[in-house]
Structure 1
Amino acid sequence: MSSRPVWEKRQFGHRARLALTPAQEQAIDAQAHAARAAWNLLHNLWSMTPKCTRSLTRMDQTLRQARKDIDWLGVLPAQATQAVLKTYMRAWRNCWEGRAEEPAFKSRVRSVMSVDIPQGRDLHIKRVHRRWGMVNIPRVGRIRFRWTRDLPVGKAANSDNRITGARLVKDSLGWHIAFRVTALERKPAEHTGPEVGIDAGVNISLALSDGNHQDHGRPPRLPDGSADRDKWLNKEEKAKLLRLEQRAAHRKSFRKPKERTSNRLHRSYDQIRQLRARATRRATDWQHRTTTSLARQYGVIVVEDLHITNMTRSAKGSVENPGKNVAQKSGLNRSIAQEAWGRTVTMLTYKTARHGGTLIKVPAPYTSQRCSACGFITSGSRETQELFVCKNPDCGWTGNADHNGARNVLHLYRIGHTMEIPAAGRAVVRRTRGVKPATAR
């Protein structure tokens, strides 16, 4: 007797590159600047209004009147303006509930340019070519975008499978559109694959307890021992980046204090940001491919509950108590930031759930100092960043330090010392009663 399939709704995003003409790019830029200005106007209004008279209705009325009175603010569609208001109020709600800090003023330089399209019915998406599709942007017109995956459009769209909206986002490589998709999919069966512990490292990107390490093949260190800031760029791109940085430094030397940045210096900065964005895109692509492969292969994936912000804190210290090995710690912090461990765990979280697997977190203390063969713990076991040597005279196990950490991570899960991460809420440490840490693996 076969059981009936269980269906569940899943929400996800899909990002595609836009192919814009100069006029279309100028129009979207104007909308993005108007959206940023609308946020700042709301922030100023909220700050100057007494607490007893603050209301969503008043802010909505003020924003509507501002669109009528200010021409450059009126280029933003009405629904996109309402989306800015809803986002601002949601930011305050997250602050009140302790999930985020207070909303702040968005500067022209540091803020990301974006425009929200809250209604999916306004997009009118159509596939016109094997590699290209067309989408309608309010007050801009029809725009081509790269078609890299099937979207629920046309006859395939219904109440359960549809595009609910989109967001235009600009980075150093141009404008992109991020579709918000709701799909009805069959709930995956429980994954019966093996268990594996993962230790995120610098020398080995993802060390697995079974020895099936995942590495991107890019050395974290240069021959002189310093951290490689641009390991995702090839030799020609690194040489170009060096020339651009030298050119930018030369042009910056002619700028007087408080003087406006020249257009030439802006162009040099734009080219540098493009190379940096290209490297980030390659790193993200490797993470997507690797995490998808791990989610398909393993049923239970165990990772450490790392506090990356504390790990990458500077060792500079203060004037009274200066730090030690500041340069080495700075290079290590840079290498950790490049590996983007938090993004890897985020990808594994939703990909394991999509494939029927489970992601478990375990406490991180002593996983790198404990011998995975005998359980002996000492701070001097790591001879180098790569080598682990057990100081127990009865053991003497030697191996890769990251592999040793991955075996310890899996062992913590097997003895029940895990941290269950619910869909919403804080992690809870759970320890199986009556089970003590074993001294042998």
Structure 2
Amino acid sequence: MNTERAQERRHFGHRARLTLTRAQIQLVDDQAHAARSLWNLLHAWWTMLPKDKRSLAAADTAIRQARSEIDWLAVLPAQAAQAVLKTYFQAWKNCWDGCADVPTFKARIRTAMSVDIPQGRDLKVTRVHRRWGMANIPKIGRVRFRWTKDLPVGKRADQENRITGARLVKDALGWHIAFRVQSLRARPEPHTGPDVGIDAGVNLPLALSDGNHQYHGRPSRLPDGQADRDKWLNLREKAKLLGLEQRACRREQQRKRGDKTSRRLRHTYDQIKQLRATATRRAVDWQHKTTTGIAKRYATVVIEQLHIKSMVKSARGTVEEPGRNVAQKSGLNRSISQEAWGRTVTMLRYKTARHGGTLHRVPAPGTSRRCSACGFTTPGSREGQATFVCKHPDCGWSGNADWNAARNVLHLYRTGRALVPAAGRAVVRRPRGVKPATAR
């Protein structure tokens, strides 16, 4: 067998938390603000310039001149400035191809702070401890990060297995570094495991057709049919979050219209963001572990083709035709958004391919109303949110409603009603000759 054909090149990312001093945090913050401001200046320059003078070389010359004349732009490394230019041009290419909207200005509040390090050789990553590693950040120096994954550094690094770059990203929990890693791995053998159908829910996160359901491990104390929006926080954290939200509400009511947000109110909001970020990290960790176990065990994974954007629409309605059960629908929408089904599908897509399996989609309508035992759809079989009792006179099967839907999902795949395999995301392009609002 040819060795080159038996191997494939993979690109993946790994995110680790940085440990920075106050001085280093200030320097990285300055670089992130400079990168955002450079994007805005580049966007203003691009939109005001005549079309015949717009080019990559002209933009590069303008950036070099701006960094030499403006001191607060010079804090951004030259490679990071070039990365901003490359990202901006890629945004326009995505717009011209119909994959994204027209690039706009980045606001200071709503934009995530980030700095790109495009050259992997500038990082000089080393492992100094079982739990810690060191990396070099341009114009910052050597910094420590949490070592939670083996990276190709030192003698293990070569032309095919190496760190190609990184990005510094800031969230409510502080600064993190996201490495871009390239590796050469052997192609996986075809998976020989069983097939499984999966139904995503709120009370039961992932129901599997073989009964091996995946729970959060954090049971809700609310009645049946209601989801706990803070299930990833313990009781102490929930009480703290409730107190912070009440405190923020009181201080917001005392603030007059037009006044700036006080320092105390901003600090309260920061504490709320930290608790929300902690819950998100726990949810992502559970999703990674669960999807990895599913990809290792099953050869074919079948899921529903869900339109989540339509599922989380508000039921408020209009003034002429107001909606019903608006508060209940709002709680359900929050629970659906918190489960992040789209992120679970994305993880399953690349993990099944990595382990030699496949991922397929089937139409969602009717999977929750059809009886998986007799195959009939009888009105009134769905009793409540979590129980299914078949009303057909010759059947009478009863069980978990999500498990019944998972069995129907697998049945649709086995009967040849699967959609196009979800190996990759299709790109929707504009028809030929149709240009966006802002042409080249």
Q: Tell whether the structures are fold-level matches, with TM greater than 0.5.
A: yes
Change (3 A) 1:221 1:325: farther
Deviation at 1:388, TM superposition (A): 1.3
Give the aligned partner of residue 162 of structure 1.
162
| Aligned residue in 2 for 1:231 | 231
Q: Which residue of 1 aligns with 2:18?
A: 18
Q: Which moved more, 1:46-55 or 1:301-310?
A: 46-55
Structure 1 residues 25-34 or 389-398, which shifts more?
389-398
Code of the aligned partner of 1:51 = K
Give the conservation status (yes or no) of the 8 Å contact 1:295–1:351. yes
Q: Match for residue 277 of structure 1?
A: 277
How far 1:45 moved relative to its partner?
A: 1.9
Displacement of 1:308 in angstroms is 0.5
Residue matched to 1:421: 422
**d(CA) in 1 for partners of 2:338, 2:62:** 44
RMSD (CA atoms)? 1.7
Q: Distance in 2 between matches of 1:27 and 1:160?
A: 33
Name the stretch that deviates more: 366-375 or 303-312.
366-375
How much does 1:3 deviate? 8.4
Q: TM (normalized to structure 1)?
A: 0.93
SS at match of 1:189: coil
Question: 1:203-227 CA distances to partner (integer Å, 9 max, x unpaired)?
Answer: 1100000000001133457249754
Distance 1:87 1:3, change over 3 A: closer
- Pair 1:73 & 2:73 matched: yes
1:217-248 deviations in whole A, cap 9, x for unaligned?
Answer: 33457249754221110011111111111221
For residue 383 of structure 2, what is the aligned residue in structure 1?
Answer: 383
* Separation in structure 2 between the aligned mates of residue 294 and residue 307 of structure 1, nearest angstrom: 23
- For residues 363-397 of structure 1, the C-alpha deviation after alignment (integer angstroms, 9 at most, x for no partner) is 11111111111222255331111011223222222
For the 8 Å contact 1:201–1:207, the answer to whether it is kept is yes
Distance in 2 of aligned mates of 1:385 and 1:168: 43
Look up the equivalent residue of 1:174 and give its one-letter code. Answer: G
Alignment partner, residue 312 of structure 2: 312
Instruction: Show CA shifts across 1:27-84 (max 9, x none).
Output: 0000000011111111222222333432222222222211112111110011101101
1:328 maps onto 2:328 in alignment: yes
Partner residue of 1:246?
Answer: 246
Q: CA deviation at 1:422?
A: 4.0
1:203–1:219: 8 Å Cα contact kept in structure 2?
A: no
What's 1:337 paired with?
337
Distance 2:137 2:27 in 1: 10
State how many pairs are aligned.
426
The answer for the alignment partner of 2:123 in structure 1 is: 123
Greater shift in the superposed pair: 289-298 or 53-62? 53-62
Query: Which deviations, in whole Å up to 9, do the C-alpha atoms of 1:311-349 show, x marking residues without a partner?
Result: 111111111121111111111111111111110111111
Q: Tell me how far apart the structure 2 counterparts of residues 88 and 48 of structure 1 sit (CA, whole Å).
A: 15
What is the alpha-carbon distance in structure 1 between the residues aligned to residue 258 and residue 221 of structure 2? Answer: 38
Please say which of residues 188-197 and 220-229 is displaced more in the overlay.
220-229
The one-letter amino acid paired with 1:423 is: G
Check whether the contact 1:220–1:335 (CA below 8 A) recurs between aligned residues. no
Specify the alignment match of 1:368 in structure 2. 368
Greater Cα shift, 47-56 or 102-111 = 47-56
Give the counterpart letter for 2:147 in structure 1. W
- 1:391-431 Cα distance to aligned partner (Å, 9 max, x none): 3222222211100110011001101111223435269xxxx
SS in 2 for 1:418: coil
**Deviating more after overlay: 38-47 vs 14-23:** 38-47
CA contact 1:227–1:334 (8 Å) conserved in 2: no
Letter in 2 for 1:192: T
Q: Which amino acid in structure 2 is aligned with residue 179 of structure 1?
A: F
Q: Could you list the per-position Cα deviations for residues 181-213 of structure 1 after superposition, in whole angstroms to 9, with x for gaps in the alignment?
A: 000011111110010000001111000000000
What is the DSSP-based 3-state SS (H/G/I as helix, E as strand, rest coil) of the residue aligned with 1:245? helix
Deviations 1:63-110 (A, max 9, x none): 221111211111001110110111111111112212122222211111
Q: Could you list the runs of 5+ residues in structure 2 that have no partner in the other structure?
A: 429-440
Q: Secondary structure of 1:111's match?
A: coil
Pair 1:101–1:379, CA change in 2 (3 A):
farther
8 A Cα contact 1:126 1:135, kept in partner: yes
Which residue does 2:103 correspond to in 1?
A: 103
> Counterparts of 1:307 and 1:417 in 2: how far apart (Å)?
18
Residue 286 and residue 184 in structure 1: after superposition, are their counterparts in 2 closer, same or farther (change >3 A)? same
- After TM superposition, give the deviation of residue 249 of structure 1 in Å: 1.7
Q: What letter matches 1:425 in structure 2?
A: A
CA distance in 2, matches of 1:214, 1:37: 45
| Cα gap change, 1:331 to 1:417, in 2 (>3 Å) | same
1:411 aligns with 2:414: no
Contact 2:202 2:227 survives alignment (8 Å) = no
Match in the other structure for 2:435: none
Task: Say which SS state the counterpart of residue 115 (structure 1) adopts.
Answer: strand
Q: Which is worse superposed, 268-277 or 384-393? A: 384-393
Corresponding letter in the other structure for 1:243: G
Partners of 2:141 and 2:99 lie apart in 1 by 38
**TM-score, normalized by length of structure 2?**
0.93
In the aligned structure 2, how far is the partner of 1:407 from the partner of 1:10?
34
Higher relative CO (Cα under 8 Å, sequence separation at least 6) belongs to 2
- Which whole-Å CA distance do the structure 2 matches of 1:380 and 1:189 have between them? 46
Deviates more, 1:356-365 or 1:390-399: 390-399
Name the structure 1 match of 2:93: 93
Say if 2:198 is the partner of 1:207: no
- CA distance in structure 2 between the partners assigned to 1:254 and 1:243 by the alignment: 17
Structure 1 unaligned regions, length at least 5: 428-441
Aligned residue number for residue 431 of structure 2: none
Percent of aligned positions with the same letter in both sequences? 69
One-letter identity of the residue aligned with 1:282: R
